[in-house]
């Protein structure tokens, strides 16, 4: 067999890595109440289940044989994606009888692809990374694990990765869960610099996967990578640039939706501002960063700014909503006001599915 060289080699190599894993088994506790009735990967971002953006990005770069590592509400994920043919990929499912952590989930899913190199996505990442660049870097370094990095202001609630001049990972510093929670909710942190953080996308060779215990809970961030680094294994990190964000909290979901609608993130499949079957009164005002789901109704003289309405929401007359997420089949009666003032600490109100907000209800933060 003749292996292509030069520009053709990247295409050849991309086509060789056709195996993908998406870790989609989390409970989504930070997104409750949105995740009481659906798994986090199916929460809508600009009228498209979040996981569809990751599937489309993998497919764009030739990764078209994908396994979902699932646990919580796994049946709903499988019912949506089925065999993947509707999305132009082959889709399979590795269901965990008990939560196995990120490392255990990867090993459980990778057993579907014995001896293969795999591209792995954490299921809560929205990005437009150039995956071809990452794949090429992985091959050039003869890496057994390549960690994609993003540069963010510090301090922050993410793990820090330290590299040498060639990109080899020298150290992995993972904060405690308590530190993560404290930093993610503190809006008054004074920024002191920048760090490279784990961006939740990996290229893993079979040598790395074999180091993950089979059928046992393990964290790839806390258990697997630190051991490999201590053994001086060839693990590399690359910061390819581009849009990246973790979508784990309501305020992040709102920003992710706005980023898709505004074009701040170059998604591989388009979002939509308004779903099918929705009626918006001619004198209602809806700004361009608002996403309205299917079969919704927005009444006369209502104002919606930076809002997410899930499917089947009914908004009455003279309603004012700003910076809020409203879950499906909610009824908002006339003259309700729910707005978030600037400087409120970044909190995003979420109205649970099936709620009824009676006429004149006011909630201003």
Tell me the two tokens of residue 270. Answer: 């388009």
Percent of the chain with pLDDT over 70: 87
CATH code for residues 279-364: 2.160.10.10
pLDDT of amino acid 98: 80
The two tokens of residue 226 are: 């630190």
Q: What is the pLDDT of residue 291?
A: 97
Answer yes or no: are the C-beta atoms of 199 and 190 closer than 8 Å.
no
- As a CATH number, domain 7-262 is 3.90.550.10
Per-residue model confidence (pLDDT) at position 26 = 77
pLDDT at residue 215, as a whole number: 84
Instruction: Output the pLDDT for position 178.
Output: 65
The whole-number average pLDDT for the span 336-352 is 80
Instruction: Decide if pLDDT at 176 tops 70.
Output: no
Confidence of residue 314 (pLDDT cuts 50, 70, 90): very high
State the pLDDT at residue 162.
87
pLDDT (tens digit per residue) in 134-144: 999 999 999 99
Check whether 146 has a pLDDT greater than 90. yes
Q: Which of 104-118, 146-160, 299-313 has the highest mean pLDDT?
A: 299-313
Better pLDDT: 185 or 243: 243
Q: What is residue 179's predicted lDDT score, i.e. its pLDDT? A: 62
Region 325-352: mean pLDDT is 87
- Residue 172's pLDDT is 81
Gap between the Cα atoms of 33 and 186, Å rounded: 22
Q: Domain map of the chain by residue range?
A: 7-262, 279-364
Amino acid 12: pLDDT: 47
Tens-place pLDDT, residues 232-257 = 999 999 999 899 988 988 999 999 99
- Asked if the model's pLDDT at residue 264 lies above 60, the reply is yes
- For the chain, the 3-state helix, strand and coil shares in percent, each to the nearest 5, are 25, 25, 45
Q: Is the pLDDT of residue 155 over 70?
A: no
pLDDT score of 9: 44
Mean pLDDT across the chain, nearest whole number? 87
CB 317, CB 335: distance < 8 Å = yes
279-364 has the same fold as 7-262 = no
What gap in Å lies between CA 224 and CA 13, rounded to an integer?
26
Pairing of strands 320-322, 308-309: unpaired
How far apart CA 20 and CA 320 sit, in angstroms, is: 43
């Amino acid at each position: 067999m003749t292996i292509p060289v030069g520009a053709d080699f990247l295409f050849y190599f991309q086509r060789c890595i056709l195996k993908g894993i998406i870790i989609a088994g989390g409970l989504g506790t930070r997104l409750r109440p949105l995740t009481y009735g659906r798994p986090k990967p199916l929460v809508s971002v600009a009228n498209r289940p979040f996981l569809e953006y990751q599937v489309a990005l993998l497919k764009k770069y030739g990764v078209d044989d994908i396994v979902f590592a699932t646990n919580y509400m796994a049946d709903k994920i499988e019912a949506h994606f089925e065999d993947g043919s509707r999305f132009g990929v082959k889709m399979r499912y590795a269901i965990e009888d008990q939560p196995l952590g990120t490392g255990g989930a990867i090993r459980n899913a990778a057993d579907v692809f014995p001896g293969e190199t795999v591209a792995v996505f954490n299921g809560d990442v929205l990005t437009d990374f150039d995956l071809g660049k990452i794949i090429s870097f992985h091959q050039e370094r003869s890496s057994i694990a390549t960690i994609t990095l993003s540069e963010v202001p510090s301090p922050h609630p993410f793990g820090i990765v330290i590299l040498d001049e060639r990109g080899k990972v020298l150290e992995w510093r993972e904060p405690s869960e308590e530190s993560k929670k404290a930093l993610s909710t503190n809006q008054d942190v004074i920024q002191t610099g920048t760090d490279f953080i784990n961006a939740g996308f990996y290229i893993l060779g079979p040598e790395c996967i074999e180091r993950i215990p089979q059928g046992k809970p393990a964290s790839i961030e806390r258990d697997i990578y630190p051991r490999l680094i201590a053994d001086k294994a060839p693990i590399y990190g690359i910061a390819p640039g581009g849009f990246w964000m973790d979508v784990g909290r309501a305020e992040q979901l709102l920003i992710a939706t706005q980023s898709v609608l505004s074009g701040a993130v170059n998604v591989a499949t388009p979002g939509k501002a308004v779903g099918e079957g929705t009626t918006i009164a001619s004198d209602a005002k809806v700004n361009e960063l608002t996403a309205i789901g299917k079969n919704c109704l927005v009444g006369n003289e209502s104002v919606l700014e930076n809002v997410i309405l899930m499917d089947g929401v009914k908004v009455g007359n003279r309603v004012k909503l700003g910076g809020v997420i409203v879950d499906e089949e909610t009824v908002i009666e006339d003259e309700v006001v729910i707005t978030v003032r600037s400087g409120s600490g970044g909190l995003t109100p979420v109205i649970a599915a099936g709620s009824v907000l009676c006429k004149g209800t006011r909630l201003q933060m």
